[in-house]
Amino acid sequence: MKKRILISDIAKALGISVTTVSFILNDKAKEKRISEALTNRVLAYVQEVGYKPNELAKSLRTGKTKIIALIIEDISNPFFANIARLIETKAYAQGYRIIYCSTDNRLDKTQELIELFYDRQVDGFIITPTVGLAPTIQRLKDHAVPLVLFDRFLADVQTNFVVADNFTGANEATTHLFEQGFERVGFVSLRSEQSQMMDRLTGYSTAVEKQAKERYTLEVATDSWEQDIQDKLADFIKEHRIDALLFATNYLAISGLKAAKAQRFKMPAMIAYDDHTLFEMYEPSISVVSQPVEEIADKLISILLNQMQGKSKSLREVVLPCQLKIRESSRFIS
Amino acid sequence: MKKRILISDIAKALGISVTTVSFILNDKAKEKRISEALTNRVLAYVQEVGYKPNELAKSLRTGKTKIIALIIEDISNPFFANIARLIETKAYAQGYRIIYCSTDNRLDKTQELIELFYDRQVDGFIITPTVGLAPTIQRLKDHAVPLVLFDRFLADVQTNFVVADNFTGANEATTHLFEQGFERVGFVSLRSEQSQMMDRLTGYSTAVEKQAKERYTLEVATDSWEQDIQDKLADFIKEHRIDALLFATNYLAISGLKAAKAQRFKMPAMIAYDDHTLFEMYEPSISVVSQPVEEIADKLISILLNQMQGKSKSLREVVLPCQLKIRESSRFIS
DNA sequence: ATCTTGTGCTAAAAGGATTTATTTAATACT
DNA sequence: AGTATTAAATAAATCCTTTTAGCACAAGAT
C-alpha cells in the first residue's frame, strides 16, 4: 500500500518547480515557453512513475469536475435505461463520467437531487423534469449551469430541451387506428401535466375530432397500484366497448396486457408509446410509436457539450419525429 | 448569479473563527467543548443564509467522496438496470451517490474504468468483474479500497462477493425439464469463463449425468451478431432434435424466441436464466430461474457500507438461492 | 551604456474546507 | 497567593492542484 505520488514528487525528483510540471501536463508547455527538452524529460518521467493527478484537487482549483448529472425518471424503465446507456457511451468518449439518480417523477426528490449535484459542482445536467420544477431549473439557469431537459419540457422556463414530437406521434397512431376501421378508439394515459403526456393527449384528441368520432380517455394516477390500474383498464374497455386503444406509456400498455391475461378478456386492437422487447415478441406483436432513442441521446450530449465548452449560448429546442411501427396488434379483423 | 457563500463568510459575519464553525457543522461541538449558546447561534445563522459546504474541498481534505462506483456489464440489460435501481435507492438513503459505467464485459474497458474511478477517489466499488480482472482487483485490495463483486466472482483473488447459487439454479431447472418427460435437453450459454456461466454449465451437466442422458451444449461467442446467434441456435435445435432448452442468459433466450419466430420453427420447451417482463407475458409464458434481485442489492450495499465505515474487515462471500419459476414453456405436451 | 524584448522557468496565492496543536481565560485546588 | 485543571475558542497546517505575477538572463535596438 504505497503512497500516492504527487506532482511535487515529480518536481523534486527532476529538480524543477511544480509549476513547470503542471504546465507541461496541461499542454501549456508551448504557450508558457517551456523548452522542448525539459518537456520531454518531464513527460517521460511522469510516464515512467505512472503519475496521475488528484482529480479532486484539480476540480477544486478549476471548478470543473468532468461529471454530468443524469436525473431521470426511472433507470429501470427500458426506455430510460437505453437512453442512459447511449448517453453514457457518448459522454465517456469525451472524457465525461455520469452520476445518476432516479426521481420517480417526484418533485421534492428531484429538487433535492439537483441541489445536491449542484453542490457537488457537476459540469452539466440532463434532466427529465417533473411538473413544478421550473423555479429550480430557473435557478440553475441563473447560475449559468449547462443543462438540457428531455422527454418533456417546462412551459414556464426557457431552456434547452430534446423531446419527441409527441403530438404527431399520437395523432398518426390514432389516425392509423381509425383508418384500419376501428370506431371506438380509446386513450389511456397518466394523470399528469407533463408536456409529453399533454401532447400525446392533444394528438389523440385532434385525430378523433378530425374523424368526427367519440373521445374515450382514461387517466391513471401516477401512484396507483398495479392491480388498481388493471381493474380500471378492464372496466374502461368494457364500459365503452372500446375496439382500439392507444397507450401513452409502455408500462401502461404492459398493464393492459396483464389485465387481459389475468381477467381473460380479449385485448382490443392497440398501439403503445415507446417500444419494448415485449411488444416486438408478443403474440400478436404490438404496434408502437417509437422514439428515436439514438438521436435523442446524440442531441442531448452534443447540446450539453456545446454549452459546457461555452461554444454556444443559444437556446436549442429540439423536437424529433417519432416512428409509427405498425405490427399485428393494430390490424382490423372483421 | 451571486457568489457562493463560504465557511469563512460565516465566521466573519459572526465574529468567530472558521475552526469553530467547522467543528459545529461536523457535529463536533460537544467533543470540542463549544458552548451551546454559540453552537445554536452558528446553526441558526447557517440555516438562515443557507450555507452548504463545498463538497469538493471537503472531499479533498477528508479523502471521502460519498460516491460509490457501480461498474456493471450493461445498464440497459433489465436485470442489471433493476439491480442498479435498487442499489441506488439504498445508497441514497445512506447519503451515498452512484457513479456508473457499463463495461460490455470488456477487460480493457473495465480496467480503465476502475483506474479512473479510483483516481477520482470514490469511496467504494460494486463490480461485475470480467475474466482476467483479478490483478486489478488485487491492486484495489492492496490499497484497502472497499469493494464487492456481484453476479460472478474471481477464483484468483479473495474478495467480498454476492452471487446467486447458479449451480443449483441450473441444476434444478434441468432436472425439472427431465422430470417433465423431456429427453434431449440442451444448454445454450456464452463462450465465457465467467464464474456464473461455468456454474450454470456445471449445474446442467451434473443434472444430465444424474439422469444418465446425453449432453447437448451450444456456446455462443460474446461478440456474435444477433443474426448469427439465431442461425446457430436454429441449427443446434434441429441437428440434435432438442426437445427442451435451458438458456444461460435472458438475452440468449430472447434471441432463441426471435429465431423461432423469424425462421418459423416451433420452439422446444425452455427455461431462461434471469426473469424478464417478456417471459412473464409471452405466449406460452416462459419458465425462468430468477435471481433474488432485491436481496442481492441489499447484501451488496450492506457489505459495502460495512467495509466503508470500517465496521468489518472480514470477507463476506454470499451465495443466494435462485427461484425456479415454473410457467408454461417447460410443460410437457405429449 | 541603457532600454526593450523575449526566453525559460518559478514562488506564492488561490481554491474551500478539516484537523492538529496551541492559546487564553476562568475555575478549582493546595 | 500560586499552581493545576478545564472550558472555550482559534491560528496555522494540510489536502493537491492550477494559475498569476514576476524573476533572471540573454540578445538586439537605440
Say if residues B73 and B103 touch (Cβ distance below 8 Å).
yes
Helices (H) and strands (E) in chain B, counts: 13, 12
Q: Measured between CB atoms, which of B1, B56, B92 is closest to A142? A: B1
Per-residue pLDDT of B240-272, as tens digits, reads 999 999 999 999 999 999 999 999 999 999 999
B226 Cβ contact list (under 8 Å, min separation 6): B255, B258
**Neighbouring-strand partners of residue B317:** B161
- CA dist A30 and A9 (Å) reads 23
C-alpha cell of A2? 504505497
Size of interface A-B (CB pairs under 8 A): 119
Q: Do B119 and A55 touch (CB under 8 A)?
A: yes
Sign of CA pseudo-dihedral A250, A81, A222, A202: negative
Tens place of pLDDT for every residue, chain A, 334 residues? 456 899 999 999 999 999 999 999 999 998 888 999 999 999 999 999 999 999 999 999 999 999 999 999 999 999 999 999 999 999 999 999 999 999 999 999 999 999 999 989 999 999 999 999 999 999 999 998 999 999 999 999 999 999 999 999 999 999 999 999 999 999 999 999 999 999 999 999 999 999 999 999 999 998 899 999 999 999 999 999 999 999 999 999 999 999 999 999 999 999 999 999 999 999 899 999 999 999 999 999 999 999 998 777 789 999 999 999 999 999 987 6
Q: What share of chain A is helix, strand, coil (3-state, %, to 5)?
A: 45, 15, 35
What Å distances lie between residue B126 and B88, B100, B295, B307, CA to CA? 11, 9, 15, 12
Peptide bond into B321 cis (omega under 30): no
Sign of CA pseudo-dihedral B124, B319, B217, B241: negative
- Note the CA–C1' distance, A208 to C28, in angstroms: 91
Say if residues A197 and A151 touch (Cβ distance below 8 Å).
no
On the question of pLDDT at B30 being above 80, the answer is yes
- By percentage, how much of chain B surpasses pLDDT 90? 92
Nearest to A200 by CA among A227, A174, A220, A226: A174
C-alpha cell of A44? 517521460
Flag whether residue B82 sits within 8 Å of chain A, measured between CB atoms.
Answer: yes
Q: Do A76 and B98 touch (CB under 8 A)?
A: no
Flag whether residue B191 sits within 8 Å of chain A, measured between CB atoms.
Answer: no
Sign of CA pseudo-dihedral B44, B46, B50, B52: negative
Nearest to A332 by CA among A177, A184, A188, A214: A177
Task: Return the domain boundaries, chain A.
Answer: 7-53, 62-163+293-320, 166-291+324-330
Footprint of strand D on the protein (CB under 7 A): A 4, 6-8, 18-19, 22-23, 25-26, 28, 53-54, 57-58, 60-62; B 15-20, 23, 32-35, 38, 57, 60-61
DSSP-assigned letter for residue B328: G
Kindly report the nearest CA distance between residue B277 and chain A, in angstroms.
7
Measuring from the CA of residue B55 to each C1' atom, give the nucleotide at the shortest distance: C17
Over residues B75-96, mean pLDDT: 95
Identify the residue whose cell numbers are 417509437.
A290
Q: Tell me the CATH number of domain A7-53, given options 1.10.260, 3.30.870, 3.40.210, 3.40.50.
A: 1.10.260
Say if residues B322 and B289 touch (Cβ distance below 8 Å).
yes
φ and ψ at residue A63, rounded to 5 degrees: 80, 0
- CA dist B293 and B128 (Å) reads 14
Same fold, B7-53 and B166-291+324-330: no
Ordered DSSP codes for B185-237: EEEEEES---HHHHHHHHHHHHHHHHTT---EEEEE-TT--HHHHHHHHHHHH
CATH code for residues A166-291+324-330:
3.40.50.2300
**Neighbouring-strand partners of residue A86:** none
- Note the CA–C1' distance, B31 to C21, in angstroms: 16
Nearest to A273 by CA among A295, A297, A248, A306: A248
C-alpha cell of B1? 448569479
pTM above 0.85, yes or no: yes
Footprint of strand C on the protein (CB under 7 A): A 15-20, 23, 32-35, 37-38, 57, 60-61; B 4, 6-8, 18-19, 22-23, 25-26, 28, 53-54, 57-58, 60-62
Q: Is B162 helix (H, G, I), strand (E, B) or coil?
A: strand
- Listed in sequence order, the DSSP H helices in chain A are 7-14, 18-25, 36-49, 55-62, 78-93, 107-119, 134-142, 166-179, 195-210, 226-239, 250-262, 277-281, 293-308
φ and ψ at residue A179, rounded to 5 degrees: -65, -30
- Note the CA–C1' distance, A20 to C8, in angstroms: 10
C-alpha cell of A194? 407533463
> How far does Cα B299 stand from its chain's mean position?
11
Flag whether residue A93 sits within 8 Å of chain B, measured between CB atoms.
Answer: no
C-alpha cell of B313? 474487515
Nearest to B256 by CA among A286, A281, A284: A281
CB-CB neighbors (< 8 A) of A54 in chain B: 60, 119, 121
What is the maximum alpha-carbon separation in chain B?
88
- Note the CA–C1' distance, A31 to C6, in angstroms: 13
Q: What share of chain B is helix, strand, coil (3-state, %, to 5)?
A: 45, 15, 35
Q: Measured between CB atoms, which of A52, A75, A120 is closest to B88? A: A75
Q: Tell me the CATH number of domain B62-163+293-320, given options 3.40.50.300, 3.40.50.970, 3.40.50.2300, 3.40.50.10610.
A: 3.40.50.2300
Q: Do A98 and B100 touch (CB under 8 A)?
A: yes
Kindly report the nearest CA distance between residue B267 and chain A, in angstroms.
13
- Secondary structure element (H or E) that encloses residue A195, with its range: helix A195-210
Task: Identify the pLDDT of residue B215.
Answer: 97
Peptide bond into B146 cis (omega under 30): no
